[in-house]
Amino acid sequence: MDDLSIILSDDGSHSLHSKKYNAEYHSSHGSIQESLHVFIKAGLEYLNLPSTKILEMGLGTGLNAYLSFLYASKNKVNIQYTAYELHPVDTSITSQLNYVQQTKSNEFLEIFERIHQCTDGLNIALSDHFNFLKHHKMIQSLHQESEFDLIFYDAFGPGVQEELWSKKMTDIMYRCLNNHGVLVTYCAQGAFKRNLKASGFSVEGIPGPPGKREMTRATKKA
């Protein structure tokens, strides 16, 4: 991952810039505020379930997983978190990220480190309320049906990795969700939303995080 460099977003939290894709891992307006808005508030809080199975497309910096851990700890709800990341970020980089400090959760520094250090394919309990499993493989290899309640779709944008926003992918996402399961993403591209609808989702555009007018939330119809 020599192509990655740490950058500072507007809310004081770190992001990464990929030279290979000429893309950033989070919004330049604020990494933490974007993740809280798109994935925690519009996803976890919206579903408001006592137990939630989450699938993340693109573990990346681990920010979404860590914020989900904090949410589970604060609200005493159970989360099984599964992430697919073909190219995991090296721990020499993740150890420098400031998410623990920025969220004032220094007591959980070890948890953030374990998210990146844990063994590929091994489901581990990071707390009484949070289990974590990561796969270093392509999301296209996912074959589960009706397995997850919530999908965090956080791949690089359609302009960078168009294939990850295709109908082939929305079909896979639809299949692996439970009835009334939800997919949330920062992306509001028209072609992607049409693919979601063609796969069977009910799609809504909702207000996006600072710096972005709209995001997408899609629900699997019963």
Q: Do 123 and 131 touch, CB atoms closer than 8 A?
A: yes
Phi and psi at 48, nearest 5°, equal 55, 55
Cα–Cα distance between 23 and 144 in angstroms, integer? 30
Of 1, 12, 152, residue with least CA distance to 91: 1
| Amino acid (1-letter code) at residue 111 | I
Cβ neighbours for 43, distance < 8 A, ≥ 6 positions apart? 150, 152, 182, 184, 217
pLDDT 10s per residue in the chain (222 long)? Answer: 579 999 999 999 999 999 999 999 999 999 999 999 999 999 999 999 999 999 999 999 999 999 999 999 999 999 999 999 999 999 999 999 999 999 999 999 999 999 999 999 999 999 999 999 999 999 998 988 999 999 999 999 999 999 999 999 999 999 999 999 999 999 999 999 999 999 999 999 999 999 999 999 999 987
Query: What are the start-end ranges of the H helices in the chain?
Result: 31-35, 46-47, 63-75, 91-94, 99-102, 109-117, 167-176, 190-199
Give, for 83, the enclosing helix (H) or strand (E).
Answer: strand 78-84
- pLDDT of amino acid 222: 72
> For the whole prediction, is pTM greater than 0.85?
yes
- pLDDT of amino acid 55: 98
Cα–Cα distance between 161 and 172 in angstroms, integer? 17
